[in-house]
Amino acid sequence: MYNNRVWGIKMRREERGLSQRGLALKAGIAYKTLQLLESGRHDPRWSTLVKISRALGYTEPSIEKALSNYMGIFENSVVEVAAKITQEGNSSWKLWLFEFVDVFRKSPEPRLVSKAPDPDTNHGIQAIMASAVEFLCDEKKLSRPWWCAGVPPLPKPWFVSGVENLKASALVESPTQFRQRNIFVLGNFLVRA
């Protein structure tokens, strides 16, 4: 369980003169959720903590930094990248995924991949991230993180290039780590210059 004293939800709520019901309403979360968080009997989701932070008046940069420190999330980790994609919209996935790939290849630290993305992250984003993490861990001869095994395949095939003429190539070239989740990429998908 996360220790509420580390982040101080109750203290900050009281500093701002808000009741539990008032903060829960302002944050758009259930009153019971806030009660459990403040008592230390509930593990919060990233998205819930962001809502609470906004309701307490924190700015976006300070929210991200405080929550990352609070939850032990490292810069450019899978958790942080998934949160950025969720925050900026699913169409931003390529930018953040490839930034993660570059960082991990330069310094393949297990702590960058050890924690799973928020379960509220889009299924397609979770699947492509899990596939990329498995590919990179295999490449670097590291153990695959536990959470990757829990990311199921997509219900429909996703041809990442989006180009009709490249589908046949993607079917043949797609690495197993992607293919097993119904994601089809070209063989050079994670190759960076």
Q: Which of 20, 46, 70 is the last residue of a domain?
A: 70
Per-residue CA distances from 29 to 36, 44, 51, 116, 155 (Å) = 12, 11, 8, 22, 30
Return the pLDDT at 136. 95
Within a domain: 47: yes
Mean pLDDT (the chain, rounded): 85
Return the pLDDT at 171. 94
Residue with tokens 């609470």: 52
- pLDDT-wise least confident of 19-28, 49-58, 62-71, 103-112: 62-71
Find the domain containing 118 and state its range.
78-184
The total of structural domains in the chain comes to 2
Residue 47: CATH number of its domain:
1.10.260.40
**Separation CA 59–CA 53 (nearest Å):** 8
- What's the pTM value of the predicted model, to 2 decimals? 0.64
Return the pLDDT at 25. 94
Residues 36 and 112 in one domain: no
Predicted confidence band of residue 193 (pLDDT cuts 50, 70, 90)? low
Report pLDDT digits (tens) over 2-30: 443 335 778 788 888 999 999 999 999 99
Residues 21 and 96 in one domain: no
Residues 174 and 84 in one domain: yes
**Separation CA 175–CA 169 (nearest Å):** 12
Q: Residues 83-108: what's their mean pLDDT?
A: 89
Half-sphere exposure of 120 (CA within 13 A, CB side): 12
Residues 172 and 91 in one domain: yes
Predicted confidence band of residue 115 (pLDDT cuts 50, 70, 90)? confident
Return the pLDDT at 73. 52
